[in-house]
């Protein structure tokens, strides 16, 4: 009986710890990034099914993007949309292949992105103005294989 009780309590305890860890503070910290990247967030995205935008605490704009979990060289979306301002992109790579996400403006200037990750999540914070931006995986060969998309800001 003690073993079955432990098997029941252990997942509940882990779940409680994970749930408690989901709360966060709204603190901003200084980092050494340029004016184009920031820890501040802005208004929510339009309700576009492709953007998967949501409003975080304090009215922050957050977009979700993921690598194909099977290992294919693809993102789960090829189009994102946002409103002008600071945007947080939550990138998840549950695949066994390393990936990242980088953002470039229409002039080809990189404005932000994540580190290369495997089996985890990372966040990119970018500051965008109205226009069209490209996002892509910078791991050699991945963008050429089709791992790219467009972020439209209106």
Give the pLDDT confidence of 109-132 residue by residue, as tens digits.
999 999 999 999 999 999 999 999
What is the separation of C-alpha 86 from the centre of its chain, rounded to a whole number of angstroms?
Answer: 13
Q: Is residue 89 part of a domain?
A: yes
| Structural domain contains residue 85 | yes
Domain total in the chain: 1
Q: For residue 149, what are the domain limits?
A: 35-153
Dist CA 62 CA 142 (whole Å): 25
User: Is residue 26 a part of any domain in this protein?
Assistant: no
Structural contact between residues 66 and 94, judged by C-beta atoms closer than 8 angstroms: yes
Which pLDDT does position 13 carry in this prediction? 45
| Residue 144 token pair | 């050429």
Residue 120 within any structural domain of the chain? yes
pLDDT for residue 99: 98
Q: H or E element: which one contains 80?
A: strand 79-82
* Alpha carbon distance 140, 147 (integer Å): 11
Residue 18 belongs to some domain of the structure: no
CA dist., res. 76 & res. 90, Å (int): 13
pTM metric for this prediction: 0.64
Residue 15: both structure tokens together: 């779940």
Dist. CA 54–CA 45, nearest whole Å: 7
What is the helix (H) or strand (E) element at residue 21, kind and residue range?
Answer: helix 2-21
Dump the DSSP string for 118-137: SSEEEEEEEEE-SEEEEEE-
- Look at residue 7 and tell me if it is in a domain: no
Residue 24 lies in a domain: no
Domain assignment present for 65: yes
- What lies within 8 Å, CB to CB, of 2 at 6+ separation is none
Convert the pLDDT of each residue in 19-63 to its tens digit.
344 444 444 333 333 333 333 333 333 333 334 455 554 455 999
Which CATH number belongs to the domain containing residue 55 in this structure?
2.60.40.420
């Amino acid at each position: 009986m003690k073993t079955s009780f432990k098997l029941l309590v252990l997942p509940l305890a882990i779940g409680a710890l994970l749930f408690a860890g989901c709360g966060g503070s709204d603190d901003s910290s200084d980092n050494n990034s340029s004016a184009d990247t920031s820890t501040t967030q802005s208004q929510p995205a339009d309700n576009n099914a492709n953007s998967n935008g949501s409003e975080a605490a304090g009215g922050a704009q957050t977009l979700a993007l993921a690598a194909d979990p099977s290992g294919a060289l693809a993102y789960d979306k090829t189009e994102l949309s946002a409103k002008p301002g600071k945007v947080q992109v939550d990138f998840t790579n549950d695949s066994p292949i390393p990936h990242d996400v980088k953002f470039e403006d229409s002039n080809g200037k990189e404005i932000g992105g994540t580190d290369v990750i495997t089996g985890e999540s990372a966040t990119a914070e970018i500051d965008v103005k109205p226009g069209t931006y490209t996002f892509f995986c910078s791991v050699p060969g991945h963008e050429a294989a089709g791992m790219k998309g467009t972020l439209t800001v209106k």
